[in-house]
Structure 1
Amino acid sequence: MRRFFLTFFYLVCLSCNRIEAPKVENNSGIYKPKGLYSSSFGNETALDNAHVNGALIRVKWNDIEPEEGIYDFSLIDQFLLSIQERNLEWSLGIIAGESSPLWLFEDEKVDSFEITDFYGNVKVIPKMWDNQVIVKLNQLALALAAKYGNDEDLGLVYVPQMTANGIEGHFNGVSETVLINAGFTADKWVNAVKSTAVNFAMAFPDKAIAVEVHDLINDSAIPNQIITDLWNDSSLNQRVGAAIWWISGKTTYQPNLLAALTAFPGDIYAQAIGRSDQKERFKDGDYSTMMAQAKAMGVRYIELWEYEFVNNTFPNEFSDFNAYANATYD
């Protein structure tokens, strides 16, 4: 059951003294989540925090489709029990990339390539632009929708991506040369991600959809084209928004993409870049700058690490962001 809150209107002023007005009108006629969510499961007490509107369920593709066409949704259902007991909402993220099922790699079903990420981990990644990858992800979307598409408490579905961690739109330190040698081009990537996003949106016609974006081959134009084209696609009825799982209050990381997102007229869903005790990850070591940045950019929804809700680290800021989101977005 969705939570409803008494709301009041907040206008947010950044250090530059610029006031940002609400920018998204929900013309789709469907529910889109807003406010604060927990980004993970581990300590269920996070879901008991009064500021939590819902939680993200993220599972690996290879866990839910261990054999081609044979689905096991028990892990998702297990997490759902805790959410349903508390009358919360939920979002769904399927992790692809290295966590794609083994059968996808067998018998030359799809083409793949090897990367070494920022942390030195060697991974084999299916090529997002391989047509069979797009076909199999579409089949996955249809199976998920058949199971959960009518759940009114499911508010947001993330688009899986063949990337370093399987959902965020980047390769985490992999060189441009490695990607280009694997056959990566801007057009191939844009078309593959857009095709998969459209397939998920069509499978879930009553749900909001999100594509997580990062610069690719040092180019912010690639993610910007993806989210802009999807938002402007009239067949999708402005249901496909952008996601940023790296919001921090800082403006030095991917500044061009931050500018593009601030100008983006569509929905933005975010996840905090880290825990509040990881002070170095936030502007001036101040976690609250992340939520101020979110409001200035027009972010409607943030997933905070469960640490914040278990320890109720910033209750005033949590209350403030939820009030802002409820007052600003339908």
Structure 2
Amino acid sequence: MNKFFFFLILVSIQSCSTSNNHIELENNTPIYKPTGLYTSSFGNETALAHPQAKGSLIRVTWKDLEPAKGLYDFTALEEKISIVKSYNKKWSLAIIAGNDSPEWLLTDIKADFFEIVDINNTLKKIPKIWDPKVNERLDLLARQLAETYNNDIDLTLVYVPQMTVNGIEGHFNGVTSSELINAGLTANRWVSSVKETAKIFANYFSNKAIAVEVHDIMGDTSIPNRIINDLWNDYSLNKRVGAAIWWISGKNSYQPNLIDALTDFEGDIYAQAIGRSDQIERFENNDYRTLFSQSETIGVRYLELWEYEFVNNTFPTTFESFNKYTDSNFNKLKK
């Protein structure tokens, strides 16, 4: 073969491997990573009709998915999926664990747990993620879910369930560090166990992007930072496990060290607005639009807005602009 012709073929192949498109290849398996705006719920279905809403988050509790040990019921999930698909939109999946883990996990499996009182003065039972029995059962759940949904092309992102106060975000809001330490939580235990859960879901959902929501743990940014960087740099995961922040507000005053760590993070970042735009005090300078500029600064590729924004079409020009931004900047693998 002519050497110059061979060189052109090689250059062409290399160019295609980093071309600006939605599809990324993992061992010749197409992987779609979502970009742009999703609605974080759709109690009001008109949110799904908004032209700038590319899809919706679907939340479902572990206790509803597996009401009895080994008995899986995806009925509620299927109902929500069918609604999203009826609008020809994509969906992402958040499995809520923590206090919404099934009761049999504690009574039958005898998983270790600790009790906390959250900021609403509600008593909650939190299974200890570092008890091996917890991830053993999450492994079985992930396998069942993946057998049904891994090949659903409309499923674009899977959040990692966490043994935390609200079961998906990586924090213990309102719980003191001393309470967590007394329960047996250590930095190494937390990092190791959350990474194990993430790998379980990434390995079963082999065709999907995966996200771990992060907060400071016991006031320590190094804990979430270790988790997301270790997962992103794990060669076996093919750069599919990114970080999620469900508290983006335009402000730098909340968890400033973690904001810096995320800004430096080389992996994919998924986010959710901290509140509705009419809750103006929650945003920098009382301006909801600052969360979009912060998203661009940090490098957010996917952003969930509360359904209020789409139902009321609060900032249509900003929504369109952000979708164009993410389409232009994140339709290829982030290096």
Give the TM-score of the pair, scaled to structure 1: 0.91
Shift of 1:119: 2.1
For 2:215 and 2:123, locate their aligned partners in 1 and report how far apart those are by CA, in whole Å.
21
Shift of 1:26: 5.5
Question: 2:310 maps to what in 1?
Answer: 309
Paired residue type of 1:34 = T
> Are the structure 2 counterparts of residues 224 and 27 from structure 1 closer, same or farther at C-alpha, using a change threshold of 3 Å?
farther
Paired residue type of 2:268 = D
Task: Give the total of aligned pairs.
Answer: 308
- Post-superposition Cα deviations, 1:136-159, rounded to whole Å, max 9, x if no partner, equal 111111111011111011000000
> Who wins on radius of gyration, i.e. which is larger?
2
Residue 27 of structure 1 contacts residue 238 of structure 1 at CA under 8 Å; is this kept in 2?
Answer: no
Shift of 1:27: 6.3
SS at match of 1:320: helix
- Confirm or deny that 1:47 pairs with 2:48: yes
SS at match of 1:155: strand
- Confirm or deny that 1:251 pairs with 2:241: no
Question: 2:62 maps to what in 1?
Answer: 61
For 1:324 and 1:200, locate their aligned partners in 2 and report how far apart those are by CA, in whole Å.
29
Please tell me the root mean square deviation across aligned C-alpha atoms, in Å.
1.4
Paired residue type of 2:125 = V
Shift of 1:106: 0.4
Shift of 1:49: 0.5
For 1:202 and 1:33, locate their aligned partners in 2 and report how far apart those are by CA, in whole Å.
19
SS at match of 2:91: strand
Which aligned segments of 4 or more residues in structure 1 are displaced greater than 2 angstroms?
25-29
For 1:27 and 1:90, locate their aligned partners in 2 and report how far apart those are by CA, in whole Å.
21
- Mean Cα deviation higher: 52-61 or 118-127: 118-127
Shift of 1:108: 5.4
For 1:72 and 1:237, locate their aligned partners in 2 and report how far apart those are by CA, in whole Å.
31
For 1:250 and 1:281, locate their aligned partners in 2 and report how far apart those are by CA, in whole Å.
8
Paired residue type of 2:231 = L
Alignment identity in percent? 60
Paired residue type of 2:141 = L
Question: 1:271 maps to what in 2?
Answer: 272
Residue 109 of structure 2 contacts residue 133 of structure 2 at CA under 8 Å; is this kept in 1?
Answer: no
User: What is the 5 A alignment of 1:14-163?
Assistant: 28=26, 29-107=30-108, 109-163=110-164
SS at match of 2:207: coil
What stretches of structure 2 of length at least 5 have no aligned partner? 1-19
Residue 27 of structure 1 contacts residue 237 of structure 1 at CA under 8 Å; is this kept in 2?
Answer: no
Question: 1:5 maps to what in 2?
Answer: none
For 2:71 and 2:195, locate their aligned partners in 1 and report how far apart those are by CA, in whole Å.
26
User: What is the 5 A alignment of 1:223-238?
Assistant: 223-238=224-239
- Confirm or deny that 1:164 pairs with 2:182: no
Residue 231 of structure 1 contacts residue 241 of structure 1 at CA under 8 Å; is this kept in 2?
Answer: yes
Question: 1:9 maps to what in 2?
Answer: none
